[in-house]
Amino acid sequence: MNSSDLAFLTLVEARSLLERGEISSVELTRNEIDRITAFDGRLKAFITVLAESALEAAAAADARRRQGERQALLGVPVAVKDLFNTAGIRTTGGARVLADNVPTTDATVVRKLHDAGAVLLGKTNMMEFAYGYPHPDFGETRNPWALERTAGGSSGGSAAAVAAGLAYGALGSDTGGSIRSPASYCGIVGLKPSYGRVSRHGVLPLAWSLDHVGPLTRSVADASILFDVIAGFDVNDPASAQVERAPTSSSLDHAVAGLRVGIVDEMFERFVRPEVHDVAREAVAKLGQLGVHLESVTLPHLDLIAPVINPIVQAEAASYHRHTLEDRPNDFSDEVRDNLRLGATILAIDYLDAQRARRWILDGVADALTRFDVLLYPTQPIVAPILDSYSIQPGATDDVLDVEIGHTGLANLTGHPAVSLPAGFTVDGLPVGLQLIGRMFDEASILRLGRAFESATNWHRHHPALEP
């Protein structure tokens, strides 16, 4: 098996090779590190690469396997977004302000990865403090499918690393779509779990009432494995939910015939480019062939998603960063500094009104999910934007972030689980994502339907042709 074939195995396949003794973790890890060395100079998917410690961890994983250990991720090389605290390893948040920040403890999800035996390859690039704009010190991650385009924000580094075969899975965060958007643009799977399902302890916040943590992977089964590892109650996260759960991997291959799927027709029209619309509608037709019951559904207040989510993000982010902004304003990028200052002007009444409107949106989705098992529409109405599209241009009337949030922000406002699946490609060869939204704490259903769709289409088997 050559380097490329090895790199583009799914996490499940790589783990099976390890379990059968057909390859070692050291071999897998060295192959990934060699690819990072070859390709990441152009992609900018990583901020920090941990080549030496990763190989040491891989050797230790091989030794543990020889002794009979069988953890869920033993010896599998993965990456994490650079806003997850990592003990003894710098955590920058994609920001100059934290360029020398070295935490003393791991985020809860990082500890769970270590406990499961994962090998940490490095910390992935991201928008500054996850706020939608890249800091010039770190630059914008490029899309492996088209290097003149962005991988998306803010978990673009994690998405690009997985799509380019530089990691078998990665963790990201999602406040308005920052897992699902780059997953859609890079042609991979991105899961935003239910609010409170995965701990955010030790994760740099953007907006506490909207932040989620989840996996980005090449297949739905891979996402299920990573989710099962990181999910669970954590007393250190005040929003953590105590809910009973069975591993999603145990029901992944159950039949989907008879599932009721609500097609949100408005979200096939709002800002949706024709090439995206065509791919998404073909994906819906494929779902219909799987025996699911498809029916149109109308959700109220969809036009309010961006106007509601924006003041919440702005106010909560301004609250978190206010002291640093006062002390070191010039260390922020212009866009993030301006947004934080704008957030400081949000009136309490405006913030509370946004939270009230958020409840209207939540009630509409919850009501629809009493009649449907899953809601469906394109993850994003556009393909991956050209680099620098997130910069605010003088006189611009269209804001890429507002367009994106208008599609993915719904599940952040309501807290429902949502997954983006590779749905196909435009005639220009750019990936398109399909989004499934499920009931609270029912990640199993959207992953099960996603797995069935994936098996019927095999879009996840496509990968970009990269040159060093």
Give the active site residues: 81, 154, 178
How distant, in Å, are the alpha carbons of 214, 257, 269, 345, 422 from that of 183? 12, 26, 21, 33, 8
Report the candidate in 436, 413, 11 with the shortest Cα–Cα distance to residue 191: 436
DSSP string, 189-217: EEEE--TTSB--TTB--S-TTT-EEEEEE
Please state the φ and ψ torsions of residue 467, each to the nearest 5 degrees.
-125, 140
Give the C-alpha separation, 208 to 316, whole Å: 7
Q: Is 224 helix (H, G, I), strand (E, B) or coil?
A: helix
Report the candidate in 271, 310, 273, 361 with the shortest Cα–Cα distance to residue 132: 310
Give the C-alpha separation, 201 to 106, whole Å: 9
Q: Which residue has the tokens 């080549």?
A: 51
Report the candidate in 457, 460, 447, 423 with the shortest Cα–Cα distance to residue 254: 447
Contact 98, 84 (CB under 8 A): no
DSSP string, 133-191: S--TTT-PPEETTEEEEE--SSSHHHHHHHHTTS-S-EEEEESSSTTHHHHHHHTSEEE
How distant, in Å, are the alpha carbons of 10, 136, 162, 221, 232 from that of 45? 19, 14, 9, 23, 28
Structure tokens at 208: 């506490």
